[in-house]
Structure 1
Amino acid sequence: MKRKAGWMLVSVIMVLSLLVSACSSGGGNNGGNSGGNGGSGKSDKTLTMWTWKVAYNPGFEAAAKVYEEKTGVKVKFETFTPDDTYRQKFKAAANSKTLPDVINWWATAGDSIEGSVEELSPIFGDDVLNQYFSTAMDPIRISDQQVESWKTDKNATEVQKSLKAGQYYGLPLDIGGFFTFYGNKKLIEEAGLTAEAPKTWEEFISMMETIKEKTGTPGLVVGAKVSDLWENWAGSALTIMLNGPEGYIDLLERKTKLSDPQNIKVVEAVSKLSEKDLLMPGVLSTDIDGADQAFAAGKAAFDLGGSFTMSTLLAMGMNQEDIITFPVPAIEGSKIPQWTTDPFTLTMLSVNKDSKNKEQALDFIKFMTTDPDAAVAFANGAISIPALNLGDRADDLEPNLKALSQSFATEPGPYSEAMPAINAYRTKNKEWEVYAQSVQSMWEKKMDAKAVAKKFDDTMESLKASGN
């Protein structure tokens, strides 16, 4: 995932990588002397770590250098991409007990890696956790809703069924936010418009229509090849703003239908993208990287992404002054007129439970996620915002990162309120998978909004009747 999410997920998230690579040997069994000094002295030990985030490697290397300077412990990195390759590599290594000392993983709870990594809840207390952003642990810590959901989920794994509320198996490394549109300032102004954020979804649609009419450039590119990307990165925000988080929770919990008047408005709003031919041709075969590349090349006026997208666009040659950013705009008449971006954790660091360097590995992930010098070094190298609440040290972040971090809500907002239900139901309830596919069909003009809502509702009723 080039950037995916979070909590979700986002779905998450979720999410999201570029280029650069690091080399290393795999497996958690190599290293020098046993029993490192945990930051209190020097050591000739070497830790190994795996990641799938190619773009993070400069940040990992920079932070590891800080760690080596303070402890004498070296850290070597190995990168496996894309997402599926990394997951398969992890599974094979877990089965053969050849995992590295430290694993960089999506910030999730119940992803079934728990059988192979150390449970951290008995090890790190509030003195560590309180140093992070207030919501940083939310997607990592097992929730009551997840536990209850896995009890009745026929597809739940044995690992998931064994988990207890409050447990966690990773420490949060970095945070971000989806729900962000990027606009090409030059194209917007070429169309005679002011390069400012639209106040409503309807105004956004109008802007794209004007740009296409005046410049011939499609309005929007999305990594729509990833079927559930739209709901994770934009659709959920539209629904939460329209009906409040309680309205989205009702839909997730199957208390309302998608065809209900208050819900189908979102489907109808999204259908305008295809009805008015505003999507870039070939968008359904475009992945996240391809969408960013198309936007950077001027093939679309707007791109859907998140806080992490800025680094990608800059690496592709765009200038920050040529880009405008804004959150998903609300549908007219929404209960919440403006979206507040809740930061959520993108990735976490976990420790191989069979590592021969476990004590040192635990010290390293604590250092990476709580030491300000390490956090700043990682952030500026990876172009990602650390989960550590940096306070005044945020001034040491690169200007782009500092600006993005200041756009995050400091207190939990509407998405945070809906997040437990999203984690518990959006993957479990398979009507959401059907919905993601139906949105793609709608964008191909094979279905209209009414047909999309009906298919969602019919699937939901059929699953309920079968006990799923």
Structure 2
Amino acid sequence: MRISASRTVKYVATAVAATLSLTSLTACGGSGSGGSDSKSLQMWTFKQSHVQALRNAAKEFKKETGISVSVEAFTPEEAYMTKVQSAAKTGDLPDVLEVHSDGEDRVLGASGIAADLKDDYKGAWLDRIQSSVHDSGLVTPERYEKSRSSKSTDNGIEKGARYSVPLTIGTFGIVYANKAKLAEAGIKEAPKTWEDLLAALKATTAKDPKNGGLTTGLKARGPGLNWILQPLAFAQLGKEGYDNLFGKDKSSDFGSPNGVKALSLYDQLTPYWTPGTQSLDVDQADQTFAQGKAAFDVGGTFTLAFLQQNGMKPDDVYALGLPAPENGAVTDLSLAPMALTGMTLNSASKQPENAKKWMEFLSGKQVAAQFATDATDLPATDLGADSAKALGPTLDSMFQTFKGTPETTYDANLNQDIQAPGYEQNDVGDILADLTPLKRASVEDTARKISELNQSYWKAAGQ
């Protein structure tokens, strides 16, 4: 199991469950934790793909400091917080926990389990991290105000505190292409534009009608909307036009000519969906691709590790950010990274200074680059101009999708700022599925229905 389409929903649900169990644990959250001596630390993770990478880093850390670090994984993800809750009750938590960023870290902070790192995570350590995720783990004034509700899952966090530091980053909207299938269809390089992608799909499906198409986890309802349509619409319309699609003005939302234009582009994928894609969840779609039953797969940066676990090597695929249309407002589309996982320090650790040394060690450029190749994941550390040499072509091609300007970068983190209160992506996803792949509705009908739904959200919010 790994990060899925419903990332935000899943993590909030996890956080709610964790809060119910953890809010009463502060007083008994650990009379002592971590290793048995002053030169031994413990770290837990929920990602099996990170275990060996962390252990490799731990070997180097011991050589440098004399401090050993044992790393243990508890999977699946859904069981991880249950394990954390149980260990908190008995005082058996490790020194360092890998957590889902900007969710689980705050839940642990609210309970008193996560230490505040604001006085340590600064200077050279902070400067090594990608600037776009500098605020990850930080309780901003806005986040603090939201937490004050008694119903908030992180009620009890402190303004200005920092309950985690980023370890990995990533984004959605990454297109994976099977190099062998493309070569069989006469294609020798990755698509560079939306038109190139459509031409490649046409060629691979002509070569292999059954296994030459495109897949993604459409059963989850969000991927088609969040991973394809939205960045595609941003590239076609530019930031202002994209923002207006979700606005209160009906003349410029999805029911407008701009909305129809964006939906028409998305509908161009309809002939190329792998049969049955609408019934696949994210993992199943990725497995379909790994098994050679599709030539293309749309996922996230984190998908590459899952593909490797299912038999594909990074060199077997092209990995690229969703390409922009040639005639769009943004022709050099970039995707903004988000913090995916972070590290939290157990407030009851007997070795907090050694634990912080370990956490900072993982942010070093050489260590982070080695972690990335070992884990097939992208580090939060900014690797600079040496990223291609450090990461290899496939990982670096995804890393390069982050290199844009504010005008050319689609940032999914900002969607909540433009969408109406109460906006529900699954309802929009259901409407979108009727357009493609199900072909139950026209582009115009789809545009009208999404517009009506959007306006209903604004009306319900009294705006």
Would you call these one fold, judging by a TM-score over 0.5? yes
**Which 10-residue stretch deviates more, 375-384 or 437-446?**
437-446
Aligned partner of 1:240 among 234, 239, 242: 234
**Which 10-residue stretch deviates more, 58-67 or 220-229?**
220-229
Q: CA deviation at 1:304?
A: 1.2
In the aligned structure 1, how far is the partner of 2:181 from the partner of 2:190? 14
Q: CA deviation at 1:157?
A: 0.8
Alignment of 1:52-131 (within 5 A): 52-90=46-84, 99-108=93-102, 112-113=106-107, 114-116=109-111, 117-131=114-128
Q: CA deviation at 1:129?
A: 0.9
In the aligned structure 2, how far is the partner of 1:348 from the partner of 1:320? 24
Residues 434 and 29 of structure 1, relative CA distance in 2, 3 Å threshold: farther
Q: What is the identity, as a one-letter code, of the residue corresponding to 1:122?
A: D
Aligned partner of 1:263 among 241, 259, 263: 259
Is 1:44 the counterpart of 2:29? The answer is no
Q: Tell me what 1:213 maps to.
A: 206
In the aligned structure 2, how far is the partner of 1:319 from the partner of 1:31? 36
Contact 2:246-2:253 within 8 A present in 1 as well: no
Matched residue SS, 2:258: helix
Matched residue SS, 1:175: strand
Q: What is the identity, as a one-letter code, of the residue corresponding to 2:318?
A: I
Q: RMSD of the TM alignment (CA)?
A: 3.9
Residues 419 and 441 of structure 1, relative CA distance in 2, 3 Å threshold: closer
Alignment of 1:257-296 (within 5 A): 257-274=253-270, 276=271, 278-296=272-290
TM-score normalised by L of structure 1: 0.78
Deviations 1:21-40 (A, max 9, x none): xxxxx989444567xxxxxx
Deviations 1:303-358 (A, max 9, x none): 11344444444454445565333321224531001322444433211122344443
Contact 1:181-1:326 within 8 A present in 2 as well: yes
Matched residue SS, 2:176: strand
Q: CA deviation at 1:61?
A: 0.8
Contact 2:11-2:104 within 8 A present in 1 as well: no
Alignment of 1:134-153 (within 5 A): 134-143=131-140, 150=146
Aligned partner of 1:359 among 340, 344, 353: 353
Deviations 1:284-303 (A, max 9, x none): 33233322322232211111
Residues 452 and 155 of structure 1, relative CA distance in 2, 3 Å threshold: farther
Q: What is the identity, as a one-letter code, of the residue corresponding to 2:375?
A: A
- Structure having the higher helix fraction is 2
Is 1:434 the counterpart of 2:427? The answer is yes
Identity of aligned residues (%): 28
Aligned partner of 2:455 among 445, 452, 461: 461
In the aligned structure 2, how far is the partner of 1:420 from the partner of 1:207? 30
Q: CA deviation at 1:241?
A: 0.9
In the aligned structure 2, how far is the partner of 1:28 from the partner of 1:103? 17
Residues 92 and 235 of structure 1, relative CA distance in 2, 3 Å threshold: farther
Matched residue SS, 1:115: helix
Matched residue SS, 1:50: strand
Residues 335 and 396 of structure 1, relative CA distance in 2, 3 Å threshold: closer
In the aligned structure 2, how far is the partner of 1:167 from the partner of 1:214? 56
Q: What is the identity, as a one-letter code, of the residue corresponding to 1:351?
A: L
Q: What is the identity, as a one-letter code, of the residue corresponding to 1:102?
A: V
Residues 141 and 444 of structure 1, relative CA distance in 2, 3 Å threshold: farther
Is 1:376 the counterpart of 2:376? The answer is no
Residues 129 and 233 of structure 1, relative CA distance in 2, 3 Å threshold: same
Contact 1:179-1:237 within 8 A present in 2 as well: yes
Residues 74 and 4 of structure 1, relative CA distance in 2, 3 Å threshold: farther
Consecutive unaligned residues in structure 1, runs of 5 or more:
14-25, 35-42
**Which 10-residue stretch deviates more, 91-100 or 324-333?**
91-100
Residues 232 and 358 of structure 1, relative CA distance in 2, 3 Å threshold: farther
Report the count of equivalent residues: 439
Matched residue SS, 1:180: strand
Q: What is the identity, as a one-letter code, of the residue corresponding to 2:99?
A: W
Residues 201 and 60 of structure 1, relative CA distance in 2, 3 Å threshold: same
Residues 356 and 293 of structure 1, relative CA distance in 2, 3 Å threshold: same
Deviations 1:176-212 (A, max 9, x none): 3432212223333433x43334454344334323432
